[in-house]
Amino acid sequence: MPEPSGEPGSPGGGANGRVFDRVLLKLSGEALMGELEYGTDPERVERIAKHISEVHDTGLEIAIVVGAGNIYRGLQGAAAGMDRATADYMGMLATVLNALTLQDALEKQGSHTRVLSAIQVTEVAEPYIRRRAERHLEKGRIVIFAAGTGNPFFTTDTAASLRALEIHAEAILMAKHGVEGVYDADPALVADATFIPEITHREAIERGLKIMDSTALSLCMDNQLPIYVFNMADESNIDRIVHGERVGTLVSSGKAF
C-alpha cells in the first residue's frame, strides 16, 4: 500500500462528526496476552491490530503506548532481589518487544506505522523525537511509543500521560479487557462492585481507584487531560468514544452531571 500523502491532520475535533481527531491509546502488556499466562497471543494481537487499523482508516490520528506486563515488570525483578533500576530497564526493553509485535500486526492490516523508542535501539526503532512523532501522525502513520518514559521508577501509564500531553492528544483511551471501565472495587474479586460512569481525576486519586498509577493520574489532572477507560473487547468502542458517545468510564477534571 502506498504511504499516505502527508497532508496535515486537523487536531481539534470536527472531521466526520468526530469530537477527537488525535488520541493516545494505552495498551497494557496483558492486553496482548489473551488467555495465556505469559507472552503474546497472536490471535489476540491480530484482533487488536484489526480493530486499531479500522478506526485509523477513518482518519483518526492514533498514537499507542504499550506496556510489558505480559513479559516483565521491574517490580518482579526488584522483588527477586535485583536492583530496581536494572529491573525497570529490563521492563522498558520488554515494551520494545511488544511495540515490534504490534507494529508487525498493524502493518499486516495495511496500516503504516513507526515505532519511536525512549531508549536507543536504532536498528529496530526511531529514537523518540516529539516533533517527529507529530509529523508521523499528520502523515497518517500510527505511532507506537516504546520503552515508556525511558526512566526507571516510572510506568507505561506515566509514559501514556506524558506522551499524550507532548503530542497534544485530546484524550487518553485506556484499553481494558473484560471490564467496561472503572468500578469501586475489583469486579473480578467483588461480585457487587459498582460501575463508575464518570469521575474526576482528583476523586479517583483520593479513592485510590486502580485506573492508572498516581503519578500518571496526577499528570492528567494537572493538565486537564481526559481519560476514557473502556472495554477493548467491544470493537466499536474506540469509534464510539471519538464520536462523543458515552462509553466506559470518563475520568475528567469536572463532572458533566
Return the ∠ at Cα 63 (arms to 170 and 123), rounded to 5°. 150
Nearest to 166 by CA among 22, 3, 29: 22
CB 27 within 8 A of CB 102: yes
Quick one: 159 or 242, whose CB is closer to ligand UDP? Answer: 159
CB 92 within 8 A of CB 119: yes
Can you tell me which of 155, 237, 249, 252 binds ligand UDP, judged by CB under 6 A?
155
Can you tell me which of 88, 134, 170, 180 binds ligand UDP, judged by CB under 6 A?
88
Per DSSP, the chain holds a count of helices (H) and strands (E) of 8, 11
| The three grid cell numbers given for residue 234, joined into one nine-digit string | 467491544
Quick one: 186 or 245, whose CB is closer to ligand UDP? Answer: 186
d(CA 133, CA 63): 9
Is 149 a residue that touches ligand UDP (CB under 6 A)?
yes
Buried b vs exposed e over 55-78: b needs ≥16 C-beta within 10 Å? bbeeebbbbbbbbbbbbbbbeebb
Is 176 a residue that touches ligand UDP (CB under 6 A)?
no
Can you tell me which of 91, 140, 181, 248 binds ligand UDP, judged by CB under 6 A?
91
Is 67 a residue that touches ligand UDP (CB under 6 A)?
yes
Site for ligand UDP in 14-33 (CB under 6 A): 28-30
Quick one: 157 or 170, whose CB is closer to ligand UDP? Answer: 157
Least Cβ distance, residue 45 to ligand UDP (angstroms): 14
Is 229 a residue that touches ligand UDP (CB under 6 A)?
no
Residues at the interface with ligand UDP (CB under 6 A): 28-30, 67-69, 73-75, 88, 91-92, 95, 148-149, 151-152, 154-159
